[in-house]
Structure 1
Amino acid sequence: MKLGLALPDFGPDAHPEGLLRVCRSAEDMGYDSLWTGDRVLAPRTPGTPYPSADGSMPRVYENHMDPLVALTFAASHTTRVELGTSTLNGLWHPPIMLARSLTTLDVLSRGRLVVGLGLGWMPEEYTAVSVPWKGRGARLDETVDILEGYWTNDVFAHQGPLFTIPETVVGLKPHRRPGPPVLLAAFTPRGLRRIGRRLDGWLPVAMPLPHLLGMWDVVLKEAEEAERDPATLRMALRVNPQLTGSKTGPEEMPQAGTLGQYIDYARAAAEAGVHELFMDFGQTRATLEERVDLAGRFIEGVRNG
């Protein structure tokens, strides 16, 4: 199983030195990937509760960087790790502009980009970027159509319900052909169906492994019904640890627990067939140096424990 780390593109460590410290340390430690998230607003009281146990939004989101710019910075200071978004709210961008940005990053990183898309949870953010909240599924499907067309055609045009792109020559091609993998964070039956039938994989968040694997089975069955090879799909599991000083009960993991418990969770996930797991230590109260230390202890425990 591959292991990854979230970059500090949120919170007090979202600055050049923080990004540089984490991306270089991750590569030196043997991590396989680095990930960024996406926010455009941080209201003190969101109209929709944050999808967490208490519904409150992490205050680290009040300081947020552009996820693709942060990954471009990381690309220039690393040579090996993959660079993923978890998640990029791609619907906030005109698809042709999104295609250009993603392709540029894939070229500059020499094929290390992983495009993780999400639909977000906060209607206010859609208001802020003048994109309708309703109809997000259809907008996502047409956006993916445009990405695929841009990546695979030398001459490209698109006419759809939402977007019209006049015929154009596309000289900029991704380094990874036919294009970077596109994963989706989705948990509804419709979302899991979309993953299995047309995307490259799934971006779940940490949950009890039986529940996780049950949802993954839905994705694989949808792929089979669509006559796709399920073995080509990948799962990259995000873990937002809430670290505690003492062990928590089974009912609290993986929402909260000790570093040792998260190491055990990762090892169990690997045995269960999870392809990749990445940790976001930025939602803890750790300092930058403590965050790097946790990352080192975590990968050593998973690899050698």
Structure 2
Amino acid sequence: MRLGLALPTFGPDAGPEGILRVSRTAEDMGYDSLWTGDRVLAPLVPGAPYPSADGLMPRAYENHLDPLVALTFAASHTTRVHLGTSTLNGLWQPPIMLARSLTTLELLGRGRLVVGLGLGWMPEEYTAVSVPWKGRGARLDETLEILEKYWANDVFSHEGPLFTIPETVVGLKPSRRPGPPVLLAAFTPSGLRRIGRRFDGWLPVALPLPQLLGMWDVILKEAVEAGRDSSALRMALRVNPELTDTKTGAGSMPWAGTLGQYVDYARTAAEAGVHELFVDFGQTPVTLEERIDLAGRFLEGVRRG
């Protein structure tokens, strides 16, 4: 199982020093990937609860970097680690602009990009970027279609329900053909079906492993029914540790526990066939030095197993 680390693109360490320290240290330690998230607003009173046990949006989100710019900065200071978005809200800009940005990053990163898309949870962010909240699934399908055309063709055009692109030459091509892998963060039945039939893999957040693997089975079944090679799909599992000083009960994991419990969770995930797992130590208030120390101890603990 590959192991990754979230970059500090939220909170007090979201800046050049934090990105440099974490990206370089992660690569030196032997991590396989670096990941960024996506926010454009931090409303005082969000119109929808944050998808967590308490429903409260983390205060760290009040300070947020652009995820693709942050990854480009990390790419320029690393050579080996993959560069992923978890998640990029891919509906907040026209697909042709998204295609250009992703392809540019893929080229500058020398083929290391992993595109993780999501639909977000906050209607206010859609209002802020003048994109309708309703019809997100159809908008996602058409966006993916345009990305695939952009990467696969030297000349293409598109005319769909939402977007029209006049015939154009596409000289900008990703180094990894036909394009970077595109994963989707989704948990609804329609979302799982969409992953199995259209995407390269799944980007879930940590859940009890039996529940997680049950949804993965649904995705694989959908892939087979669509005539796809289900063995080619990949799962990249995000873990947002809420670290405690003492061991929590089984019902609290993977939402809260000691570092040792999260190490055990990662080992069990590897045994269950999870392809990649990455952790975001910024979910617990820590200093940059503590974040790096936790990353080293976590990696050492998982590898020992």
TM-score interval for Structure 1 and Structure 2 normalised by the shorter chain: over 0.9
Separation in 2 of the partners of 1:47 and 1:135?
Answer: 18
**Identity over the aligned pairs, expressed in percent?**
84
1:241-263 residue CA offsets vs partner (Å, 9 max, x unmatched): 00000000000000000000000
1:23 maps to: 23
Q: CA deviation at 1:76?
A: 0.1
Q: Output the amino acid matched with 1:299.
A: L
Q: TM-score, normalised by structure 1?
A: 1.00
Deviation at 1:22, TM superposition (A): 0.2
- Cα root mean square deviation, aligned: 0.4
Name the structure 2 match of 1:60: 60
Question: When the two structures are superposed, what TM-score results if normalisation uses the length of structure 2?
Answer: 1.00
The aligned runs of 1:226-241 (5 Å cut-off) are 226-241=226-241
Aligned pairs for 1:229-268 (under 5 A) are 229-268=229-268
Taking the aligned partners of 2:79 and 2:71, their CA distance within structure 1 comes to 12
Structure 1 residue identity aligned to 2:9: D
What amino acid sits opposite 1:174 in the alignment? Answer: P
Counterpart CA distance in 1 for 2:106 and 2:201 is: 18
Matches of 2:299 and 2:156 in 1, distance apart? 44
Partner secondary structure for residue 167 of structure 1: strand
Cα deviation for residue 45 of structure 1 reads: 1.2
Q: What amino acid is aligned across from residue 270 of structure 2 in structure 1? A: A
1:10 aligns with 2:10: yes
Alignment-derived partner of residue 79 in structure 1: 79
Structure-2 separation of matches of 1:105 and 1:231: 27
Where do residues 39-58 of structure 1 align in structure 2 (5 Å cutoff)? Answer: 39-58=39-58
CA-CA distance at 1:184 after TM superposition: 0.2
Cα deviation code 1:2-51 (max 9, x no counterpart): 00000000000001000000000000000000000000000121010101
How far off is 1:304 after superposition?
Answer: 1.4
2:130 aligned counterpart, secondary structure: coil
Does residue 116 of structure 1 match 2:116? yes
Report the CA distance between 1:285 and its aligned residue. 1.0
* Match in the other structure for 1:149: 149
The one-letter code matched in structure 2 to 1:98 is: L
Q: Which deviations, in whole Å up to 9, do the C-alpha atoms of 1:94-153 show, x marking residues without a partner?
A: 000000000000000010000000000000000000000000000000000000000000
| SS, match of residue 241 in structure 1 | coil
1:151-170 equivalences under 5 Å are 151-170=151-170
Aligned length: 305
Q: Does 1:215 align with 2:197?
A: no
For residue 153 of structure 1, what is the amino acid of its counterpart? N
Structure 2: runs of 5+ lacking an equivalent:
none
Task: Tell me whether 1:175 sits opposite 2:194 in the alignment.
Answer: no
Mapped to 2, the partners of 1:285 and 1:202 lie a distance apart of: 28
